């Protein structure tokens, strides 16, 4: 062998040794777990990272079947899984799955494991196992999953709680609504009851006159009978008796007819307010009947009520609702707009405009402060409960006008000048 050939061999040997050193350095220092297996699955190389993980030495793994090494002996299932993977990769496949290993301190590490073949001349000559520690990622995912499950449980709990609360709220709202309906009904009955003193007072006069006339007729008849029995009855006395009786009967009949009219008026208003049935009626006459029923309340004040309405105006609608509106508006003015000794005028104007009826109710009383004007239709809002106000009168009107009659109500007011309600109703 020549000196030149010897030097070439030495150079190649040096280069090979250096290359092996560099390969080993890379092989051992890489963060990933890596090794080499024969096609049968026997370990022929293992880098330092993989040995350090479980605290083993090369002698513990080299020359052994991969699945019999300390990396896999913790689980029979994982050993069988690896055996199957080796067979598949030895036939040229690539296999990848997640597994777990226990380190030298007993901590579990989750590994992204892969096994791939080295093929030379169409033949698998080696297998390369690789593993990447994904413990942090898996634990983060597990923590996220656990947190998600906890959140779902809390959401489910909150949903159940909210459902229970919602049911309780629904029941409470139903009770409130029922109570409101009962209060409104009571207010309606109270409003109807307010008509009774007025109608009673109005009836007292014609009934009193009737009683007087009938009593007078009874006295005349007794006197006539006495004269007849005493045989002292003359023709002139009989004629005088007949004239007096005719006058008494006419007075009693007229007064009783007036009482009957009052009773029928009150009866109709009461029926209309209670039944809310639609019928044809003359607006002015009906409002006058309502005002007559309220006369006992009006006469206790220094107020006058003026009604401006076409006498021929007749509509088909709900008279009871009109009576309720007039009654509540008038009682509202009597209670809130004036002090006891105040003088004033209340005006009611009714006009027909195309297919609508406009009702303007106004008084010249105290007026409503601006900060209260937006609250007057709110149920139970009242500034005069000490005067007997329930806070439902205007709320009932608003409900009748907007909900039942599909109309519109507007209120304008100025302090010390009065208040005006404008109601527009379809007819």
Task: Give the model confidence (pLDDT) of 226-276 as tens digits.
Answer: 887 888 878 787 888 888 877 778 777 766 766 665 566 555 555 555 556
Decide which of 226 and 309 is more confident.
309
Is residue 321 a contact partner of residue 405, using CB atoms and an 8 Å limit? Answer: yes
Q: What is the pLDDT of residue 411?
A: 94
Assign 197 a pLDDT band (cuts: 50, 70, 90). Answer: low
What is the pLDDT averaged over residues 406-427? 94
Mean pLDDT check: name the lowest of 175-179, 207-211, 335-339, 402-406: 175-179
Q: Determine the Cα–Cα distance for residues 289 and 262; give it in Å rounded to an integer.
A: 8
Assign 26 a pLDDT band (cuts: 50, 70, 90). Answer: low
Instruction: Inform me whether the pLDDT recorded for 67 exceeds 60.
Output: yes
Q: What is the pLDDT of residue 6?
A: 65
The topology under which CATH files domain 276-427 is: Heat Shock Protein 90 (3.30.565)
Model-wide pTM > 0.85: no
State pLDDT tens for residues 279-296. Answer: 899 999 999 988 887 887
Residue spans of the domains in the chain: they are 31-133, 276-427
Assign 107 a pLDDT band (cuts: 50, 70, 90). Answer: confident
Q: What is the pLDDT of residue 101?
A: 81
The helix-helix angle for 319-332 and 235-275 (nearest 10°) equals 90
**Homologous superfamily of 31-133:** PAS domain (3.30.450.20)
Decide which of 29 and 153 is more confident.
153
Q: What is the pLDDT of residue 30?
A: 65
State pLDDT tens for residues 332-369. Answer: 899 889 998 899 999 999 999 888 999 999 999 999 99
Is residue 322 a contact partner of residue 316, using CB atoms and an 8 Å limit? Answer: no
Q: Determine the Cα–Cα distance for residues 399 and 237; give it in Å rounded to an integer.
A: 66
């Amino acid at each position: 062998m020549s000196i030149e050939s010897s030097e070439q061999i030495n150079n190649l040997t040096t280069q090979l040794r250096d290359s092996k050193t560099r390969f080993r350095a890379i092989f051992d220092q890489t963060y990933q777990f890596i090794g080499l297996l024969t096609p049968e699955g026997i370990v022929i190389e293992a880098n330092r990272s993989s040995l350090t993980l479980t605290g083993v030495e090369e002698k513990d793994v080299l020359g052994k079947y991969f699945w019999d090494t300390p990396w896999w002996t913790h689980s029979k299932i994982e050993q069988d899984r690896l055996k199957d993977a080796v067979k598949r990769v030895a036939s040229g496949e690539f296999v990848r799955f997640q597994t777990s290993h226990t380190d030298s301190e007993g901590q579990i590490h989750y590994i992204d494991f892969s096994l791939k073949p080295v093929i030379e001349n169409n033949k698998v000559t080696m297998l390369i196992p690789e593993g990447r520690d994904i413990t942090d990622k898996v634990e983060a995912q597990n923590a996220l999953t656990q947190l998600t499950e906890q959140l779902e449980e809390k959401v489910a709990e909150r949903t159940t709680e909210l459902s229970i609360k919602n049911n309780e709220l629904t029941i409470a709202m139903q009770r409130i609504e029922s109570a409101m309906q009962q209060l409104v009904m009571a207010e309606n009955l109270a409003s109807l009851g307010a008509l009774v003193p007025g109608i009673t007072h109005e009836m007292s006069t014609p009934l009193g006159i009737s009683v007087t006339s009938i009593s007078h007729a009874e006295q005349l008849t007794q006197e006539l009978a006495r004269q007849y029995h005493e045989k002292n009855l003359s023709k002139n006395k009989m004629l005088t008796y007949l004239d007096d009786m005719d006058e008494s009967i006419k007075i009693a009949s007229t007064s009783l007819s007036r009482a009957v009219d009052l009773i029928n008026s009150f009866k109709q208003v009461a029926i209309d307010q209670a039944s809310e049935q639609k019928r044809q009626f003359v607006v002015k006459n009906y409002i006058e009947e309502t005002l007559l029923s309220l006369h006992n309340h009006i006469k206790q004040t220094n107020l006058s009520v003026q009604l401006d309405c076409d006498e021929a105006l007749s509509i088909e609608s709900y008279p009871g609702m009109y009576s309720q509106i007039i009654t509540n508006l008038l009682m509202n003015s009597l209670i809130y707009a004036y002090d006891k000794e105040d003088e004033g005028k209340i005006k009611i104007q009714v006009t027909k405009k195309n297919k609508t009826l406009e009702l303007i109710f106004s008084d010249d009383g105290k007026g409503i402060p601006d900060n209260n004007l937006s609250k007057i239709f709110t149920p139970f809002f009242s500034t005069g409960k000490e005067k007997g106000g329930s806070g439902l009168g205007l709320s009932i009107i608003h409900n009748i006008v907007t909900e039942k009659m599909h109309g519109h109500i507007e209120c304008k007011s100025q302090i010390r000048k009065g208040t005006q309600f404008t109601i527009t109703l379809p007819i």
